[in-house]
Structure 1
């Protein structure tokens, strides 16, 4: 059994541009999503994330390349694996005057799954107690959670979410984030497409970063961000601590939160301060976040789409 739930090789999508000719939205993309956990599919709007997802789901035709879901080539064998896949790609359509539960029951009946799946889905997304309220009374965050619940009726092994926090307030973002984290912990593989890197870092175990439809980096979050080469030191006299550290050859800068020390050797910090009878109260490793890593990665590249395609989407 393959350890990859999603794999693409040389995936390419071209569109006719508004000025004639062709524009490439996805450039020979190699995407590998491991089984289990939450995989971030990251990049700015216009970088090709939605186009890639639509090709995987058979909603858009690839110009070139190979795609597999659970080791099955798609779209040729998509019918054999589609029941194992749940996806929220566009705003789902629910009846506004029906309750959340009634909407799910209608959907469950249409795809011939037992009523018990509705109960399980409602509980999983945290809508228990609100599932009997009318859909039109739901907040945006609740509507998104109901959409995720609808995909869970099939008990999928893979859940694909395209920008699920768009338009949500901080409370709604937190609700969706908690739901995604719980799903990953339950064993569902989640492909989370987003341009909000700071949010994604809180739930992802691995990530792929693209820009202009090209693969920029991929791996576990720890692999991408590394161990870090700086520490924050808290001491009774920050200025004195910074002076001692700098004199010891450890670049140190006094900041509002403490002293930032550029080194990958925490023992050198403690030795230098102890030698001067300065006792630190906190020593914290500093690691760049995904957003900082992404900005550094793409500093020399103009990201996003310069021309909107005439068919489909290229987000």
Structure 2
């Protein structure tokens, strides 16, 4: 098993409210391997930020265990914090100072060499815009400067909580490219998000949570490999073809142009069954479920209180 940078076991966080106790994180087991980008995914209010705050010592766990780099936290947090960078809240910089000056002040505060400022700016692609005042930056540039600030101490673990919130498509792409480059460079990135289409492009592995508990965890390709493959079928007589395939146990939906066929039938079986009935396939295309669809299946089942998502899913654990 790969070395784990983040581990939690039975992690729980309860809040007292006027209406009683509310559980934000419910017996969460989280395992983040070293290297690459790990998605920490869930709907808003599912417990992602609360978990991150507990890992960073900003909130106290009700019970459970947490480890960063094998060290128990929060007890041993000071021993590992120099290896951790985090962007959890909105970035706070002096608005009238340039991006470079803001980073230079930070570097002096932690006694980092001045060369780290140039390296951090280059990593987040702000070289050339670094002498502009912070208040003139776009939201995406401000987020990238916040990431640059964490990179000055050259962390082994970077925790980003919803870094693309409020960004336009160009800003999202900038942050996505930065995260991908960091993961490729050997930094372990924990990326908390609910924007699944973006996450699938950068994450090597993922943990999906809902109502404060883990619904699925593993490598993204492994999670999706257990979801089954649908096929898009274009055939001359779609209504008759649909009847043939349904009689063989497949689930078939139709639109004006094609059939979507789900079930255990392989592409060769579909072609054979239809051919035996004189129905000739003009197009047969595998359609693999994406991370967003997988996520929606899991979290919608959780909201309904189901013990398992519709149809069950391989490659996920409770």
Is 1:11–2:8 an aligned residue pair? no
Give the paired residue count. 298
The aligned counterpart of 1:311 is none
Tell me: CA distance 1:277–1:297, structure 2 relative to 1, closer, same or farther (3 Å).
closer
Shift of 1:206: 1.2
Say whether the 8 Å CA contact 2:91–2:146 is kept in structure 1.
Answer: yes
After superposition, the C-alpha distances for 1:144-181 in whole angstroms (9 at most, x for unaligned) are: 01101111111111110001111111111111111111
Classify the secondary structure of the residue corresponding to 2:25.
strand
Distance in 2 (alpha carbons) for counterparts of 1:51 and 1:263:
39
Distance 2:27 2:227 in 1: 30
Q: Aligned in 2, Cα 1:74/1:285: closer, same or farther, shift over 3 Å? A: same
Tell me how far 1:117 sits from its aligned partner: 1.4
Query: Are the equivalent residues in 2 in contact too, given 1:239–1:254 (CA < 8 A)?
Result: no
List runs of 5+ in structure 2 lacking aligned partners: 305-318
Write the distance in 2 (CA, Å) between the matches of 1:172 and 1:294.
24
Inter-CA distance 88–278: structure 2 relative to 1 (3 Å threshold): same
Counterpart in 2 of 1:215?
A: 214
State the Cα distance separating 1:111 from its structure 2 match. Answer: 0.9
The answer to which of 260-269 and 90-99 deviates more is 260-269
Residue 287 of structure 1 corresponds to 288
Contact 1:17–1:23 at 8 Å: present in 2 too?
A: yes
Query: Counterparts of 1:1-315 in structure 2 under 5 Å?
Result: 3-19=3-19, 21-225=20-224, 226=226, 228-233=228-233, 238-240=235-237, 243-244=240-241, 247=244, 249=248, 252-255=252-255, 258-264=258-264, 265-271=266-272, 278=280, 280=282, 283-302=284-303
Distance 1:242 1:176, change over 3 A: farther
CA distance in structure 1 between the aligned counterparts of 2:33 and 2:238, rounded to whole angstroms: 45
Distance (whole Å) between structure 2 residues aligned to residue 200 and residue 257 of structure 1: 31
In the alignment, what sits opposite 1:309? none
User: Is the contact between residue 228 and residue 285 of structure 1 (CA under 8 Å) also seen in structure 2?
Assistant: no
TM-score of the aligned structures, taking structure 2 as reference length? 0.85
Gaps of 5+ in 1: 304-315
- Measured at CA, do residues 81 and 252 of structure 1 come closer, stay the same or move farther in structure 2, by a change above 3 Å? same
Structure 2 counterpart SS, 1:26: strand
Look up the SS of the partner of 2:177 in the other structure. helix
**What corresponds to 2:311 in structure 1?**
none
Question: Separation in 1 of the partners of 2:168 and 2:85?
Answer: 24
User: Relative contact order (alpha carbons < 8 A, sep ≥ 6): 1 or 2 greater?
Assistant: 1
What secondary structure sits across from 2:215 in the alignment?
A: strand
Question: 2: CA distance between counterparts of 1:255 and 1:286?
Answer: 15
SS at match of 2:82: helix
- With the length of structure 1 as denominator, give the TM-score of the two structures: 0.86
Q: How far 1:279 moved relative to its partner?
A: 6.1
Deviation of 1:278 after TM superposition, in Å, equals 4.2
Distance 1:247 1:182 in 2: 49
Hey, what does 1:312 align to over in structure 2?
none
Residue 7 of structure 1 deviates from its aligned partner by 0.2
Distance 1:254 1:63, change over 3 A: closer
Check conservation: 1:162, 1:193, Cα contact below 8 A. yes
